[in-house]
Chains A and B, each alone.
Chain A
């Protein structure tokens, strides 16, 4: 059987070229992000800063040279265009992230008010896209990088707009503000209260100086959240790891617990639930996307079936578009139909509250293969 519904739990959105021009106040006209057509192709410009040429592998323009134009971007960014993209990949719904370089250009402006307006404008547009077809689009809100007040206000506003998740570009109070700072609690409280999973896609401290096969930055960030006792204070909080591979975590679940216990007499921070080790927190509170990673599929019981979501990463690095079904078939070979359905559809539906999907109970979230001998 081929699964009927397939949700890509992480895809890259295509922003309309006039997203910000149409929405930012006039006073930001100099800085306002806009698309430029250069000899090499389309790029974003923010003030004097120009980004790299936009690349959407596999996506052709409508002109003779099949090179993308502004008009193509406008079409692909619309709900109609996006549904064409989904149909081309046989995907029935996508969780859409905006993680392109334009956000770095926006940050480089150094103008907090402008930055906040850009994030707000994006979220307005994202909510409109989602409303156009809520069964096919789960748009993820962007959280501004300008401080805890703006971050908390925007996640609350995003919830009111109907957005069902939020992605952090840096820590809620800023890249260099430790997560354990008490003033951050309002943000986590809002996310938990609104039942909005918080996604982590890039290092929250802003540092990405080396490429690793595993994700030490994610491990660093999730450890910081864990040991700041944020999960203990906000047990309804859910974190999403947005990456095409998570097989590295197989080692981490057990070894983080080991490390925690071996440094029992040294460490100053302790987890709030004495019945749970770090490897348990890494599973109970974290959901993982996966793609070209058969190791994870074969070892899914360690993650818990309720914690894994397949993703195409369309137009993000490692995109499988438009061959996501083939990728899925390859990595899930040997998996029974019911399990495939859970991976392709059910977990994302329940995590993001699609249709009438029932949210995960605490018991379900805690169903994973626990290591013995503990």
Chain B
């Protein structure tokens, strides 16, 4: 029996000691640490970043009985005194956010056969804003060490993704090699271009892409590399400028720059993943990328071996949760380019009914069983080269 559902993008919540317990001794007093907030909650304090980083939407604890389960959602937040503004503590959130034993139980309750784990983007937006690059790099290394340890509890179900430091190409290369070869992580996540810039790729990035291709592991970008250090506060304020800030470093923006810089010509076997980016934007971009290349960029001297949409079909994957326009456009996007994700335990997730909702949206769109398998787990399994079968006793579907 095969899998039923593997989430290509789930999350952990960094435990209190992730940094202070793991960075070199000289950084222990300066590494991100947990503080008690006046509202009774807890938050990470990151050096030189004004706002502490509370759990907020990254650690919602609720059991949904339907999508957008407003009642239970609000009720639960009410219990927690409004979550973000009035305080959430570690003991309030799902323990599987950082405890591997609990996580497996949560997977089983949510009918998940496995998950690929990312960190908390809001926290990393703050960490990479720290001025001391050596400290920043140490935090990335600490995360990767912790992730490997976390997933070692059950490597058949828990698939760790490491993070690439934003401190320059040499650190990026070193951590890519260490993450894949020593820590056995399944892929690595970029929080900047490999050279450390949040703005532009650079020729030196080729060393990184060459190594990624050689190691045969996917490289991901989660949402945007321009996650501001105060993203949660901006969300809470309803700051509408956030969309534009994120757009400047979005997967779409970065992918276009990578395509136009010829990365996928030079590294044709590179796998590039957009995590938590949804998929229904792809048809428009394929059309526009191609039109722009033919009408503008080619005239400006950009020479590519293929059309941008061809690189998409060959090198690019996106993840989606509830995305009905994407399912309807699956033949344009590529059924084998779309990977389902739950985002659990972040608040997009409707745990423990994410898989039921995924089934419902596929049924609604008339998706065949073969297509559903492909989107729900098979492409993810192929991409990360995990076996098609869990041991029978661990399989939810069993």
| Interface Cβ pair total, 8 Å cutoff | 131
Residue on B nearest A222 in the bound complex, by CB:
B240
Within 8 A of A (CB), among B240-278: 240-241, 243-244, 247-248, 252-253, 256, 278
Binary interface profile of A, 212-245, with partner B (CB < 8 Å = 1, else 0)? 1110110111011001000000000000000001
Q: Are A212 and B287 in contact, with the CB atoms below 8 A?
A: no
User: Is residue A250 contacting chain B, with contact meaning CB distance below 8 A?
Assistant: yes
The minimal Cβ–Cβ distance linking B68 to chain A, given in whole angstroms, is 5
List chain A residues, Cβ under 8 A from B230. Answer: none
Q: In the bound complex, do residue B74 and residue A267 qualify as a contact, i.e. CB atoms below 8 Å apart?
A: no
Q: Which residues of A contact B289 (CB under 8 A)?
A: 213
Report which of A247, A266, A302 forms a contact with B84, defined as CB distance below 8 A: A266
Is A292 a contact partner of B348 (Cβ separation < 8 A)? no
Which residue, of A258, A266, A298, has the highest number of chain B Cβ atoms within 10 A?
A266
A selection of 16 A-B contacts at a CB cut-off of 8 Å is A212-B247, A214-B252, A247-B283, A247-B287, A251-B280, A254-B325, A258-B322, A263-B57, A263-B347, A264-B73, A266-B85, A269-B238, A293-B287, A294-B287, A296-B284, A373-B364
- Pairwise interchain contact A268-B238, C-beta atoms closer than 8 A: yes
A30: CB under 8 A from chain B? no
Are the C-beta atoms of B73 and A295 separated by less than 8 Å? no
Question: What is the bound-complex CA distance between A262 and B149, given in angstroms?
Answer: 30
Footprint of A on B, CB under 8 Å? 56-57, 67-68, 70, 73-74, 77, 82-85, 232, 235-238, 240-241, 243-244, 247-248, 252-253, 256, 278, 280-281, 283-285, 287-289, 291-292, 321-326, 328-329, 346-348, 357, 360-361, 364
Given contacts A214-B281, A294-B287, contact A265 B74 (CB under 8 A): yes
B374: shortest Cβ distance to chain A, in Å?
21
Once A213-B285, A265-B73, A266-B85 are accepted as A-B contacts, the answer to whether A371 and B240 lie under 8 Å apart by CB is: no
Q: How far is the CB of A295 from chain B (nearest CB, A)?
A: 4
**Chain B contacts of A212 at CB under 8 A?**
247-248, 253
Name the A residues within 8 Å of B252 (CB-CB): 213-214
Report the bound CA distance from A49 to B248 in whole Å: 31
Q: Which of B70, B323, B324, B357 has the most CB of A within 10 A?
A: B324
List the B side residues contacting A254 at CB < 8 Å.
278, 280, 322-325
Q: Is the CB of B325 within 8 A of A266?
A: no
A295 to B237, CA, bound (A): 34
Interface residues of A in 244-287 (CB under 8 A from B): 245, 247-248, 250-251, 253-255, 258, 261-269
Pairwise interchain contact A267-B244, C-beta atoms closer than 8 A: no
CB closest chain-B residue, reference A225: B240
Q: Is B284 a contact partner of A293 (Cβ separation < 8 A)? A: yes
Residues of A within 8 A of B361 (CB): 372-373
B66 to chain A, nearest CB (A): 9
Measured in the bound complex, the distance between the Cα atoms of B268 and A254 in whole Å is: 33
Which chain A positions have C-beta within 8 A of B281?
A: 214, 248, 250-251
Q: Considering residues A216, A245, A253, A263, which has the most beta carbons from chain B within 10 angstroms of its beta carbon?
A: A216
CB <8 Å contact, A213 and B256 = yes
Known: A213-B256, A219-B243. A295 touches B77 (CB 8 A): no
Pair B68/A374 contact, Cβ less than 8 Å: yes
By beta carbon, the residue of chain A nearest B326 is: A251
- CA of A298 to CA of B329 in the docked complex: distance in angstroms? 9
A295 adjacent to B238 (CB under 8 Å): no
Checking A216, A248, A268, A296 against B236 with a beta-carbon cut-off of 8 angstroms, the contacting residue is: A268
B360 touches A223 (CB 8 A): no
Contact B348 A258 (CB under 8 A): yes
Q: Is A299 an interface residue (CB 8 A)?
A: yes
Q: Given A248-B284, A255-B278, are A266 and B236 neighbors across the interface (CB < 8 Å)?
A: yes
0/1 interface trace, chain A 200-220, chain B, CB 8 Å (1 if under) = 000000010010111011011
Contact B68 A295 (CB under 8 A): no
When chains A and B are docked, how far (Å) is the Cα of A302 from the Cα of B186? 37
Enumerate chain B residues within 8 angstroms of A220, measured Cβ to Cβ.
240-241, 243-244
Residue of B nearest to A265 (CB): B77
Give the complex CA separation of A194 and B236 in angstroms: 36
Q: Contact between A262 and B322 (Cβ–Cβ < 8 Å)? A: no
Q: How far does the Cβ of A243 sit from chain B's closest Cβ, in whole Å?
A: 12
Which single residue of chain A is at the shortest CB-CB distance from B77? A265
Give every chain B residue within 8 A of A302 (Cβ-Cβ): 325
Interface centre among B283, B291, B329 (most CB of A within 10 A): B283
| Given A220-B240, A267-B235: A373 touches B70 (CB 8 Å cut-off) | no
Beyond contacts A265-B82, A265-B83, A299-B329: 6 other A-B pairs, Cβ-Cβ < 8 A, are: A220-B240, A262-B347, A266-B83, A266-B232, A266-B235, A267-B238
- Distance A299 CA – B287 CA, assembled complex (angstroms): 13
Residue picked from A217, A227, A251, A264, most chain B C-beta under 10 Å: A251
A372 touches B284 (CB 8 A): no
Q: How far, in whole Å, are A213 and B285 apart by their CA atoms in the complex?
A: 8
Are A371 and B324 touching (Cβ within 8 A)?
yes
Question: In the complex, what distance in Å separates the CA atom of A221 from the CA atom of B256?
Answer: 24
Chain A residues within 8 Å of B326, by CB: 251
In the docked arrangement, what's the CA distance between A221 and B70, Å?
Answer: 27
Tell me the minimal C-beta distance from A248 to chain B in angstroms.
5
User: In the bound complex, what is the Cα–Cα distance between A275 and B292 (angstroms)?
Assistant: 39
